[in-house]
Amino acid sequence: MKELRVALFTGNYNHIRDGVSLTLNRLVEYLERQNIPVMVFGPSIDEPAIKHNGELVVTPSIPMLVPGRKEYRIATHFSRAAKKRFVEFNPTLVHIATPDGLGIGALRYAKKKDLPLVTSYHTHFLSYTKYYSFYLAPVKPFFEWMMLWFYQQFIHTYVPTPSMIDELKNLGLEANMKIWARGIDTELFSPEKRDMEWRRKAGFKDDEIVVTFVSRLVWEKELGTFIESVKRLQAKNPKVRALVVGDGPAKEEAQKKLPQGYFTGFCKGEDLARAYASADVFLFPSHTETFGNVTLEAMASGLPCLVADAIGSKSLVDHNVNGCHARPEDIDDFTRKLEDMISDPVRMKEMGRRSREMALDYQWDSINGKLVEYYREALEKH
């Protein structure tokens, strides 16, 4: 069997800490533990947010010119220096994670070299056109065409959920799609991290119901739906309290809209795990997720989850089993479902137990091990 040597191209590997960068860093760490050579190509900055795994070949990039997204960068092209390192590394398989200038350049270069190509779908880009319509609406038709063209060039396209496969097929994508789910550290994220003293210091009484939102604080995560749903329910039940975990450009305005909420700012590691486990309900209305890492973290922490009935989240949350689905952007429906959930403490506890149980099926090593099987299949098909 041909040796597996992986060249990984991505628009984000260490300069922003998000679901994409963390997922790819875990993959590289796993590959290196399996003695599979891997080299990463992507943009970076002087002070990255992540101490990355493996070797990163930094490629040219520019800041994203969209309000609230300036810390993100767009990889512009596959530079001559990067190509030199690529040739020296001598990969046998190319994995492209982002359809940017670097990804397209790598796609064309790998085709010239007759190398097997696979891709992964991490961000549902088309769903963002609503939130940045002023910038993206004029180019949406071209963008849709480009996306379909790009993702049909590969032996495999790896997507995180079955619902994402359905969504892409509805958009007209005809590709060999396979599930590459996301994993969770169930020792870090655990109901055992619940800390009543931490809750009290945050200003929550023991009999209050803490509803949490965990994400980067940007409006396209439907932060507004979370705020309005909680406020409406608080008008009926003053024991409902809001816990918002994360940072981002919408934080200041969100604090003004939700003055009684407790905002932790950015958290990670044990601090993040404690915040999850010390809440009572996870409310995440975002409908732009391809998977929903934060939902899985909440599940592992033993929380019942109220999420949008949309791709990603609904593949994790089984309606009326470990949580509920609500219609995307429907504040009335989210408020009703939240009120119904918290009205029955016994049912809430059972939903939280089932969340934890379901999260235990998502172990990183088995998930990335399956991806390596797909890699070897791609080598054989090529």
The answer to whether residue 367 is domain-embedded is yes
Query: Same structural domain for residues 11 and 129?
Result: yes
Query: Same structural domain for residues 338 and 201?
Result: yes
Query: Same structural domain for residues 355 and 367?
Result: no
Strands across the sheet containing 93-96: 55-58, 38-42, 6-9, 93-96, 117-120, 156-159, 177-179
Beta partners for residue 284, in sequence order? 307
Query: Same structural domain for residues 63 and 91?
Result: yes
The answer to whether residue 209 is domain-embedded is yes
Query: Same structural domain for residues 39 and 141?
Result: yes
Number of domains forming the structure of the chain: 2
Query: Same structural domain for residues 336 and 242?
Result: yes
Residue the block writes with tokens 């533990």: 33
Query: Same structural domain for residues 224 and 115?
Result: no
In whole angstroms, what is the distance from residue 35 CA to residue 46 CA? Answer: 29
Residue the block writes with tokens 């429906």: 333
Q: One digit per residue, pLDDT tens: the chain, 382 residues?
A: 789 999 999 999 999 988 899 999 999 999 999 999 999 999 999 999 999 999 999 999 998 766 555 678 999 999 999 999 999 999 999 999 999 999 999 999 999 999 999 999 987 655 555 544 455 566 667 777 888 899 999 999 999 888 888 888 888 888 899 999 989 999 999 999 999 999 999 999 999 999 999 999 999 899 999 999 999 999 999 999 999 999 999 999 999 999 999 999 999 999 999 999 999 999 999 987 777 889 999 999 999 999 999 877 888 999 999 999 999 999 999 999 999 999 999 999 999 999 999 999 998 999 999 999 999 999 999 9
The answer to whether residue 162 is domain-embedded is yes
Query: Same structural domain for residues 88 and 219?
Result: no
In whole angstroms, what is the distance from residue 234 CA to residue 232 CA? Answer: 5
Query: Same structural domain for residues 331 and 375?
Result: no
This prediction has a pTM of 0.79
Query: Same structural domain for residues 51 and 168?
Result: yes
The answer to whether residue 1 is domain-embedded is no
The answer to whether residue 101 is domain-embedded is yes
Buried b (16+ CB within 10 A) or exposed e, 287-306: bbbbbbbbbbbbbbbbbbbb
- What CATH number is attached to the domain comprising 56? 3.40.50.2000
Tell me the residue range of the domain where 251 lies. Answer: 191-359
Query: Same structural domain for residues 263 and 196?
Result: yes
Query: Same structural domain for residues 53 and 152?
Result: yes
The answer to whether residue 78 is domain-embedded is yes
